[in-house]
Structure 1
């Protein structure tokens, strides 16, 4: 029997078979590389998202803090503006106080001058009154002596002169009384002005406040020389709150009306606030 020989493989088919294997290996490597890159890209994407979230959170926190600081700055600027306005008001009131004190000082000096003149006029009137009284006494003595000596009675001219002197004496007495009254009035005015001058800078406190009836109770009374219609500045620290005007005075306390137009915007008088005497304008 004849043996059949196996078919012989050609070099081309071997080459194609080898290239097929190589391509499969390359495809497997590329797939693995692609999967690796996809995993890395996913990890990077997740990290980027996490970083972005953190950044957004930090941005929100910074914005919140910035808004808070802007609000604080606005409040500080408003407080500074209010303080400047209060300072201007206080400076104006202090200048007004100085002007009023100067005016009252001049009035006191004028009253003292008038008092001195009134005292001088009174002394002159007293001197004239004594001189006229002495002349009348002399004339009456002369008349009496003439009657005793049986000399002729006074002439009509003498009688007219005596009547004139008596009229003059009566007139001088009336003028003297008028001058005495003027002197007493001048003394009262001088004492009152001097008392008010001595009260300048007097301080006390607000004891109670009645907002419904718009009045306050103060710690000063007539024992300190307080009188109706006196005005007081009301302060809290260095801040001017407003003004009050005395209406009722007791020995150790007084009641005063709050002057609404004087109150600083947004502020109200409270117990414990300080009060400082202000000379009232005429």
Structure 2
């Protein structure tokens, strides 16, 4: 019996020790978990604080953007108001112009019906303004035309100077018996597409006159005839009349051959587009 009690006591002590060890181990694990949970809770609090700060910043930015949008809306409304005012003013001006035009028509009718001088009336300010505007536009157009004429004159002077330096050499095509009446050939030295004219290095020294017939030729094909507008000793200026059916690639350009036959009628053949250079000019006159 004593042995049994002793064995039971020892077993109970061992069980208590094992249970105490297990309880301590469990408590240690729980403490570790609690510490980890506390750390995570601290991190979450920090993240939550950061999110709150970011939310405040985003809210401030949204408020700022809202202010900008509102300012833009106000500016847009002002612009719309200004546009409406401009349209109203334009409508008023149109009405004034229409009234002035109606008065002008009525005045013309009255003048046509009554040739006798009418009593001098007070000038209408709107009419005077319209007349002044038309005069200003006319003066501007005249000035633009004068400037263009000056540009053309300058280009002609430059072309003349260039041709003087180039010492143009028109070619005389000689016949079998040295006939001096064979046609001459020169070339286009300047071309203005806007004004549709060319400068050719043939002049009155070669017998060219305002009535002379000049043809522009390239690769044996007649591209256009020239209407001479000015004759100088060493060059002429002329307008271009293209042969029907000429494409944009066959437009005149500097270097094209110009044929001159003083006593041969070329106009009708060039206009029909059936002109054959080899039948009219000898080979020497068309090859350069």
Same fold by TM-score greater than 0.5: no
Query: Bigger radius of gyration, 1 or 2?
Result: 1
More helix per residue: 1
The two structures have a TM-score, normalised by structure 1, of 0.41
Name which structure has the greater RCO, CA cutoff 8 Å, separation 6+. Answer: 1
TM-score normalised by the chain length of structure 2: 0.40
